[in-house]
C-alpha cells in the first residue's frame, strides 16, 4: 500500500489506499497545456548491510522513476550499503570497477537514464596498505559511462552525547582532495556534495560560481541532526545560491546501531519545498526542473552582482 501525492502547482491532492508495492511515491503532475520540463526523481531508501537487497530496492525505484518519465534519478549516501561496524563497512567496500558500480552502469545504459549515486564506499588508492575508503558521489550518464566522481571533503566526526549521536567518519574514510566542476546533465548543471558538506556554504557558493544550476546533497542524516537542521540547511543553500537543491536521503532503521531521518527533499531557487518524501518509508518525489526559475530568480534579485570582492570579506582579519 502507498499514497500517491499529486502536486498541481501549489495545491496537493491525495489519492489514498492505492494497491501497489511498499513505496511512497509523490508525483508532480504536468498539465498538457503547460510546457514540459525535465523530471528529476529524488529517492529515499533504507539501506542495510545486505548489498543484494539494497541493489534490488534501488533498482526498483530507478525503474519506477524511468517509467514515470524521469531523466535523472538521485540515490542517497550509502545507497550501496550501511555497515554495522567499521570492520563490516570496510570489508563490503569496492573499487569503481567492482561489481556494484558495474551493475549500476548497466542499469543506466539499459534504461537510458542518468544516475546520481550519492555515497559509494570506494576503496582508496592505497587500499592494500591502509585499508581506508572514500565516500564517493558518482554520476553515470544514460550510456552507462561514469562522467564524474566527487569524493566527500567534509567528514562527519561528531559527538553529541545528549542527542545519542557518536560517529567518526575519519576513522575509516579519506577526505576528498578537491571539489569537482558541475556536471552538464539533461536537467541542468549539477553541482556535487555529500551529506555533511551541506553545512559548509563555501562549497555551495563555489559550485554556484562555476555555473551550477542544481545542487545535490545525497545524505544519511541522523534523526537528531535531521530533525533540527535538515530542511533549514537545504532551503538556506537554495536561497543563497538561487539554485535548485535536490537531496536524496536514507530513512528508518538500517541495523540495531543506526537509523536515519529521511525526508528526501527538493527545493526550488526561491527556497520553496517542492517535494518531501516524509520520515517513515522508502519512496521518491518527482519534480520538474524549470531552469527559467533559476534565471529569473538570479535576474530579479542579483545577489551575486551585489557581492563584494573576496578581500572585502577578509578585511576584518586585518584589523
Q: Are 248 and 43 in contact (CB under 8 A)?
A: yes
H-helix segments, the chain: 51-67, 86-91, 99-111, 127-130, 201-209, 223-241, 292-300, 303-306, 310-313
Dist. CA 77–CA 87, nearest whole Å:
19
Residue with cell 533559476: 294
pLDDT at 156: 79
- Is 163 a member of any domain? yes
Q: What DSSP character marks residue 68? A: T
Q: Is residue 310 part of a domain?
A: no
Catalytically active residues are 77, 152, 195
SS3 label, residue 215: strand
105-142 residues labelled b (16+ CB within 10 A) or e (exposed): bebbeebebbbbbbbbbbbbeeeeeeebbbbbbbbbbb
| Residue 187 counted as domain residue | yes
- Residues 52-75: b if buried by 16+ CB within 10 A, e if exposed: eebbebbeebbebbbeeebbbbbb
CATH code, domain carrying 120: 3.60.110.10
Position 159 in a domain: yes
Indicate the angle between helix axes 201-209 and 223-241, nearest 10 degrees.
Answer: 30
The answer on pLDDT for 22 being more than 80 is: no
> From CA 43, how far away is CA 208, in angstroms rounded?
23
* CA 6/CA 187 separation, integer angstroms: 21
The answer to the question of residue 309 being in a domain is: no
Rg from Cα positions in the chain: 19
Q: At what angle do helices 99-111 and 51-67 cross, to 10 degrees?
A: 10
Q: Give the number of other Cβ atoms within 10 Å of residue 194's Cβ.
A: 28
- Cβ neighbour number for residue 11 with a 10 Å cutoff: 7
Higher pLDDT, 22 or 182: 182
Split at pLDDT 50, 70, 90, the class of 158 is confident
Percent of the chain with pLDDT over 70: 88
pLDDT band for position 23 (cuts 50, 70, 90) = low
Domain count, the chain: 1
286 in a structural domain: yes
Give CA angle at 170 (166, 173), nearest 5°.
Answer: 125
What is the DSSP track for 9-49?
A: TTEEEEEEEE---S-EEEEEPPPTTSPP--EEEEEEE---S
Q: What average pLDDT does the segment 168-189 reach?
A: 93
pLDDT at position 30 is: 40
Average pLDDT in the chain: 89
Query: How confident is the model over 218-247, as pLDDT tens digits?
Result: 999 999 999 999 999 999 999 999 999 999
Average pLDDT over residues 176-195: 97
* Domain ranges, residue 148: 2-302
Model confidence pLDDT, tens digit, residues 61-83: 999 999 999 999 999 999 999 99
Residue 314 belongs to a domain: no
Inside any domain, residue 140:
yes
pLDDT in tens, 45-63: 999 999 999 999 999 999 9
Based on the number of CB atoms within 10 Å of its own CB, is 219 exposed (0-12), middle (13-18) or buried (19 or more)? buried
pLDDT of residue 200: 96
Give the pLDDT of residue 14.
26
Amino acid at each position: 500500500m502507498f499514497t500517491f501525492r499529486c502536486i498541481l502547482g501549489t495545491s496537493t491532492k491525495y489519492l489514498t489506499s492505492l494497491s501497489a508495492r511498499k513505496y511512497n511515491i509523490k508525483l508532480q503532475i504536468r498539465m498538457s497545456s503547460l510546457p514540459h520540463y525535465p523530471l528529476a526523481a529524488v529517492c529515499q531508501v533504507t539501506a542495510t548491510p545486505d548489498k543484494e537487497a539494497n541493489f534490488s530496492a534501488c533498482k526498483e525505484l530507478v525503474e519506477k522513476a524511468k517509467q514515470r518519465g524521469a531523466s535523472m534519478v538521485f540515490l542517497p549516501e550509502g545507497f550501496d550499503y550501511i555497515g554495522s561496524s567499521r570492520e563490516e563497512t570496510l570489508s563490503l567496500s569496492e573499487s569503481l570497477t567492482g561489481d556494484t558500480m558495474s551493475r549500476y552502469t548497466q542499469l543506466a545504459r539499459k534504461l537510458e537514464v542518468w544516475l546520481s549515486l550519492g555515497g559509494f564506499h570506494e576503496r582508496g588508492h592505497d587500499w592494500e596498505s591502509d585499508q581506508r575508503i572514500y565516500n564517493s558521489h558518482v554520476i553515470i550518464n544514460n550510456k552507462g559511462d561514469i562522467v564524474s566522481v566527487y569524493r566527500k571533503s567534509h567528514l562527519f566526526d561528531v559527538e553529541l552525547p545528549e542527542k545519542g549521536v557518536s560517529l567518526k567518519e575519519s576513522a575509516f574514510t579519506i577526505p576528498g582532495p578537491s571539489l569537482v566542476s558541475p556536471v552538464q546533465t539533461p536537467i541542468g548543471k549539477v553541482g556535487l556534495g555529500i551529506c555533511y558538506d551541506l553545512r559548509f556554504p563555501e562549497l555551495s557558493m563555489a559550485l554556484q560560481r562555476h555555473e551550477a544550476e542544481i545542487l545535490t546533497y545525497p545524505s544519511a542524516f541522523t534523526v537528531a541532526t535531521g530533525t533540527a537542521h535538515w530542511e533549514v540547511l537545504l532551503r538556506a543553500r537554495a536561497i543563497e545560491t538561487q539554485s535548485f537543491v535536490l537531496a536524496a536521503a536514507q530513512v528508518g532503521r538500517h541495523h540495531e546501531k543506526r537509523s536515519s531521518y529521511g525526508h528526501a527533499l527538493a527545493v526550488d531557487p526561491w527556497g520553496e519545498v517542492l517535494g518531501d518524501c516524509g520520515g517513515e518509508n522508502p519512496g521518491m518525489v518527482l519534480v520538474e526542473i524549470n531552469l527559467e526559475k533559476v534565471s529569473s530568480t538570479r535576474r530579479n534579485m542579483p545577489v551575486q552582482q551585489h557581492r563584494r570582492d573576496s578581500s572585502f570579506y577578509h578585511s576584518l582579519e586585518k584589523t
